[in-house]
């Protein structure tokens, strides 16, 4: 092998080394020396992570929708709630004067004091829970009984669907001598934009403002006409040509 061959080998090795060095320099420019614990912080160029990740950067909590129970109940279907109630009949009676089963009788449950049905042995947390069974209390309890009232003996997992619970509550309303009224729906908040409707054009103030605007335009037109007339009457100056 001659010197030319070894010169080619040396050139190839030097080129490879230079390539590795260039890659390293470019890598240092693009990425800083961040730790493995926060891969997003190691980026040298600023990135709006909240926008990229859909508003969840930094582990920010996602706000849950607030349920308007009054609106749900206003649209609820008691007959659909009766079908949902079939999940409950193995543990609850729902007829006046009927005895208790594994759970207390649910006749007249809406509005009844919590943990108060005669002859049923409640858990201590249920017996000591204050207040009565409002629609709000029933809705929260039926969604997740053990999550809502830790220590309850009720083994039911809960009804997750908001509309399903509303239908069930509408059916429970029928299980009593007197139907307890539903809570009122939350008021609809609308933003009133002043002077944004056509009616304002026909008010006295609107008519006056419109007339003033038209008069201003007419004044400008008159002034422009006067200037045109003056220019026409002024003789042209001799420019010497």
Which pLDDT score is estimated for 222? Answer: 65
Which pLDDT score is estimated for 2? Answer: 63
- Find the angle CA(131)-CA(133)-CA(136) to the nearest 5 degrees: 100
Mean pLDDT on 190-201? 52
Residue listed under structure tokens 């449950």: 109
Which CATH number, 1.10.760.10, 1.20.1250.30, 3.40.225.10, 3.40.50.300, labels domain 69-174? 1.10.760.10
Which pLDDT score is estimated for 9? Answer: 66
Mean pLDDT on 91-120? 94
| Local confidence band at 18 (pLDDT 50, 70, 90 cut-offs) | confident
b/e per residue 43-54 (b: at least 16 CB within 10 A): eeeeeeeeeeee
Which pLDDT score is estimated for 239? Answer: 47
| Local confidence band at 176 (pLDDT 50, 70, 90 cut-offs) | very high
User: 124 versus 214: which is more confidently predicted?
Assistant: 124
User: 23 versus 1: which is more confidently predicted?
Assistant: 23
Which pLDDT score is estimated for 139? Answer: 97
């Amino acid at each position: 092998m001659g010197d030319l061959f070894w010169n080619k080998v040396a050139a190839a090795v030097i080129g490879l080394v230079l390539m590795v060095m260039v890659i390293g320099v470019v890598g240092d420019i693009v990425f800083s020396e961040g730790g493995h614990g926060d891969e997003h912080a190691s980026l040298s160029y600023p990135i709006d992570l909240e926008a990229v990740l859909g508003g969840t950067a930094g582990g920010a909590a996602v706000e849950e929708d607030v349920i308007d129970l009054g609106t749900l109940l206003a649209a609820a279907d008691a007959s659909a709630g009766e079908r949902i109630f079939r999940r409950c009949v193995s543990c609850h009676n729902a007829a006046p004067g009927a005895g208790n089963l594994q759970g207390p009788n649910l006749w007249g449950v809406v509005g009844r004091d919590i943990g108060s049905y005669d002859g049923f042995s409640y858990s201590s947390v249920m017996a000591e829970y204050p207040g009565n069974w409002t629609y709000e209390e029933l809705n929260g309890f039926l969604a997740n009984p053990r999550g809502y009232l830790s220590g309850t003996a009720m083994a039911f997992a809960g009804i997750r669907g908001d509309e399903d619970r509303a239908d069930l509550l509408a059916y429970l309303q029928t299980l009593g001598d007197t139907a307890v009224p539903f809570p009122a729906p939350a008021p609809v908040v609308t933003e009133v934009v002043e002077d944004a409707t056509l009616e304002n054009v026909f008010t006295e103030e609107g008519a006056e403002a419109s007339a003033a605007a038209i008069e201003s335009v007419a004044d400008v037109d008159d002034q422009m006409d006067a200037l045109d007339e003056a220019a026409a009457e002024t003789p042209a100056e001799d420019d010497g040509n």
